Amino acid sequence: MCTAQEDSSPQGEMYFILTEKSSFGTKNSLQAGTLCCISEEDYLQNVSNETLCPLPLKVTLLEGLNADVQRTVDVNSLQPLRKEQAALLLAVPDVVMRLNYFLQRTTLDNALQARVGQQVLVQLDQKRVPGTIRYIGKIQNCIHLASVYFGVELQGPGEGRGRTDGSYGGTRHFKCDKKCGLFLPFHKLQFVNAGDRQQKKEMKQCKDALPVKPGDKVGFYLCETLHQGTALIISKEGSQWIVEVSPDEGPKDDLVKIPMDAIIKEELLSTVLESDCSLEQSFAIYDEKDARDQDVSSARPSALGVNSMVQIFLNKGSPVSGIIRWIGTLPTSNSLMAGVELDEDKGVTDGSLFGKQYFSCPPQRGIFVKLQCCQPDVRFQSEASTLRPELGLPSCSGLEHSEVLENSPPLRNGLAENVLHGRMKGIQGHCNSCYIDAALFSLFSCTSVLDSMLFKPSQPPDDHIQMILRNEIVNPLRRRGFVSAKSVMKLRHQLTEESQCPSFSTAEKDPEEFLNLIMHHILRIEPLLKLQSRGQKEQECYCYQIFIEKQEELVLPDVQQLLEHSFLSADLKLLEIPSCFIIQMPRFGKEYKMFNKITPSLELDITDLLFDSPRECIICGDLATQECPECFRDKTFAAAGLKQYCDQCSAQTHMHYRRKMHKLQKLKCPVEFQMSTRHRGSSRVPRETMELFAVLCIETSHYVSFVKYGPEKEHWMFFDSMADRHGDENGYNIPTVTLCPEVAKYLESPVAELAVQRPREMDGVAKRLFCDAYMYLYQSRKMALYK
């Protein structure tokens, strides 16, 4: 990027502008506004501060045909200029206009502070169009002083109306598309946001987040009449953002100031013009009075109210959807208005208008529309007319009310099959929600291990999130077997506010992001895992990510093997038995998997993973006193299980020449256990195990889950929140829960047979469980009683 260049003028010169017409000592008078210079030495020799009478002073003219010509002028008619001022003024050809800009100073001062990259407006064909400064400096050489011009790249409606690609006189000063550049004197520009640099920086940061940018085609209306134009200037007056718009009709130089809240964005403009609801019907009419709220419950169409999920049909086939956050009237309109938080960044406000906050939502998500233009979002309807019998969908009976205040236990065995199995069962997906749908279904449908999240005493402002989770998701799931998408979307909107991350309500996330947010930051439940690496500080977490190097010998590993390898490589131990153990598999992103298949371990033995806990000698079964990490990798021993020994067995094992150099680690055993073994005459160590209750899987960026709903080996069900769909863009997803007893057949298959089993030939959905596992969820029923 180019900046101002140095000219070749002599050093030590002083610059002046004539503020009066001068004809001193010459027949040809000089006009006011003429620029000239003189050497500092000559000036000091000829001017005496004590002299009151006008003195003749010989100066050198700087412009046009008279450049480098010397003339005599009245010294009292001269006003001194800084070199930078003179270079800018020299680019203004008309001397009268030049003098005016010198006397007014504002535009000249703004030009002096201008920087490359700054936004400006350019006068072009009687209209102002937006542009960006790409170059400041001379475009031709001069003996004394070169004029300074601004190289501007035209944007928006000015594109293609320039005269250059950034070149002048065969020299490339900046780069832009053909006919998108101009070289202009400062008076042809309107400098936007000139002034304090820090203020400009802050304003730019704020503007980058605004929904409307200079050059955008926008809509607005005055006196209830639709107008269109181009946004030129965006500024802030107090706490209110103002857009100065050049209307397509009317006086060309008149800019109309419109509050940002009342501007319709370019992508919505065409749909507004063609919609059944006119702009007058669709968008609020604003003025500076306070809005008048009123009780409008009797006048609401379609029984819509606050928190209703709605669609706004600005054009046929092109609706925007959202949730009503506010209902009332606005200053100059008697119509009932709705403040809607949109699902996407297609709004113009954060719920405020003229400095008054009507509701709260992320920036660019809020919009005010007439309530009559809102329609219930058919994707979330549970009425019989919406759920078509030919699709096998249930009637609306029992589904009208999303809240269930009566707490329900998890579903097990036959009851789980009766309540959960079928179409339009489980949790309805919408807008990239599969990560949260699968996680919630896995955690709460058939187990109570994390019900503390639902009933743990919580304090404002987070208690409402717990109530949504308990009364609008978990209880309806356990009682009716169905949760509407609007309940999950309501939870996601609250998570968005708590995390200040707008993508939580629209973007695809990973389950661990959701779990960490709601468990740690919102509900603040005690960490599920407490870990310690030898000699290191205690670590706490909610999910454990397995990290291991590729093990060639692990052709078809199970979860037990992967967990032991990971703990051993990181030298980790569990400080206590967890009630819930959430384990993420060794995969990176949604594509790369370290293993083609992983066998679910229905029972996870964590006895040897506990810190300072009694352990059993793998040879004789007595109390172990030493552990050998290197024996863990010795192929002579069993593939699974950490290797620990009593003193006698350790000595015998390490007599072998290949194991003599192994480094043993001393094990500690609680004194209480040693005393109890002496009392009962046995040193047998009790095993601490956890049972698998759910598995989250991912394939092609879509999360699903398997849930173990009973004790029998066939008691598996498969859940997909978006298994089917009714309708196209304006339709809704059909969540489905299917029974998958075929999983048991593969869990019982020999490892060698399962390793060569082709995934596409596996029955039912079993392939998803073995090939696409992302996260395993284990529970300890014993510890769940205490945590």
CATH no. for residue 221? 2.30.30.190
What is the enclosing helix (H) or strand (E) of 647? helix 647-653
Which pTM does this prediction carry? 0.51
Q: Is 631 a catalytic residue?
A: no
C-alpha span between 104 and 102 (Å, rounded): 6
Task: Say yes or no to pLDDT of 252 above 70.
Answer: no
Q: Is residue 258 part of a domain?
A: yes
Q: Would you state the pLDDT for residue 420?
A: 93
Give the Å distances, CA to CA, from 627 to 546, 661, 682: 22, 14, 21
- 265 with 182, same domain? no
**Identity at 643, one-letter amino acid code:** K
Q: Would you state the pLDDT for residue 787?
A: 60
Mean pLDDT, residues 609-638:
79
**Mapped to the 3 state alphabet, what secondary structure does 685-725 carry?**
CCCCEEEEEEEEEEECCEEEEEEECCCCCCCEEEEEEEEEE
- 363 with 318, same domain? yes
Residue 290 in tokens: 């306070």
Q: Would you state the pLDDT for residue 302?
A: 54
Give the Å distances, CA to CA, from 506 to 308, 317, 462, 479, 490: 18, 20, 21, 28, 12
Q: Count Cβ atoms below 10 Å from residue 245 Cβ, excluding itself.
A: 25
Q: Is residue 423 part of a domain?
A: no
pLDDT for 269-293, tens place per residue?
544 444 334 333 333 332 323 333 3
> Who wins on pLDDT, 293 or 332?
332
Say which residues have a Cβ less than 8 Å from residue 599's Cβ, sequence separation at least 6. 556, 557, 558, 559, 747, 751, 754, 770
Percent of the chain residues past pLDDT 70, beyond the cut: 76
Q: Is residue 311 part of a domain?
A: yes
Q: Would you state the pLDDT for residue 238?
A: 64
- 254 with 157, same domain? no
- 102 with 236, same domain? no
Q: Of these residues, 227, 493, 702, 715, which one is catalytic?
A: 702
Mean pLDDT, residues 605-619:
84
> Who wins on pLDDT, 177 or 357?
177
Q: Is residue 512 part of a domain?
A: no
C-alpha span between 140 and 581 (Å, rounded): 74
Say which residues have a Cβ less than 8 Å from residue 362's Cβ, sequence separation at least 6. 345, 350, 496, 502
Q: What is the DSSP letter of 520?
A: I
Task: Say yes or no to pLDDT of 180 above 60.
Answer: yes
Task: Say yes or no to pLDDT of 595 above 80.
Answer: yes
Is the sign of the CA dihedral 282, 285, 291, 294 positive or negative? negative
- 243 with 345, same domain? yes
Q: Which of 376, 396, 430 is the last residue of a domain?
A: 376
- 276 with 344, same domain? yes
Q: Which of 322, 345, 376 is the last residue of a domain?
A: 376
C-alpha span between 86 and 770 (Å, rounded): 78
pLDDT for 654-664, tens place per residue?
888 888 888 88
Q: Is residue 391 part of a domain?
A: no
Strands (E), 274-424: 309-313, 319-328, 337-342, 352-353, 356-357, 366-370, 374-376, 422-423
- 293 with 339, same domain? yes
Q: Mean pLDDT over all residues of the chain?
A: 78
Q: Would you state the pLDDT for residue 288?
A: 29
C-alpha span between 58 and 145 (Å, rounded): 18
Mean pLDDT, residues 683-691:
81
Confidence of residue 109 (pLDDT cuts 50, 70, 90): confident
Q: Is residue 579 part of a domain?
A: no
- 321 with 229, same domain? yes
**Listed range (188-192, 557-561, 689-693) with the worst mean pLDDT:** 188-192
CA torsion 746-750-755-760 (nearest 10°) is -30
- 250 with 317, same domain? yes
The position carrying tokens 């019989």 is: 384
C-alpha span between 509 and 701 (Å, rounded): 10
Q: Is 434 a catalytic residue?
A: yes
Q: Is the peptide bond before 259 cis (omega within 30 degrees of 0)?
A: no
Task: Say yes or no to pLDDT of 521 above 80.
Answer: yes
Grouping H, G, I as helix, E, B as strand and the rest as coil, residue 493 is: helix
Q: Which of 341, 376, 411 is the last residue of a domain?
A: 376
Confidence of residue 436 (pLDDT cuts 50, 70, 90): very high
Q: Of these residues, 37, 434, 628, 740, which one is catalytic?
A: 434
**Identity at 304, one-letter amino acid code:** L
- 134 with 268, same domain? no
- 279 with 329, same domain? yes
Task: Say yes or no to pLDDT of 332 above 70.
Answer: no
Percent of the chain residues past pLDDT 90, beyond the cut: 25
Is the sign of the CA dihedral 390, 391, 392, 398 positive or negative? negative
Q: Would you state the pLDDT for residue 275?
A: 39
C-alpha span between 566 and 776 (Å, rounded): 15
Residue of 507, 493, 495 lying closest to 341 (CA atoms):
493
Q: Would you state the pLDDT for residue 547?
A: 84
Provide, for the chain, the percentages of residues in helix, strand and coil under a 3-state DSSP scheme, each rounded to the nearest 5.
30, 25, 45
* Domain count across the chain: 3
pLDDT for 700-719, tens place per residue?
789 999 999 999 999 999 99
For residues 566 and 606, the answer to whether their CB atoms sit within 8 Å is no
Task: Say yes or no to pLDDT of 496 above 70.
Answer: yes
Residue 502 in tokens: 């707008």
**Listed range (87-96, 192-201, 218-227, 486-495) with the worst mean pLDDT:** 192-201
Q: Is residue 261 part of a domain?
A: yes
Determine the structural domain holding residue 639 and report its residue range.
626-686
Q: Is residue 654 part of a domain?
A: yes
Question: What DSSP string describes 463-481?
Answer: HHHHHHHIIIIIHHHHHHS
Mean pLDDT, residues 415-444:
92
What is the enclosing helix (H) or strand (E) of 130? strand 127-137
- 127 with 214, same domain? no
Task: Say yes or no to pLDDT of 205 above 70.
Answer: no
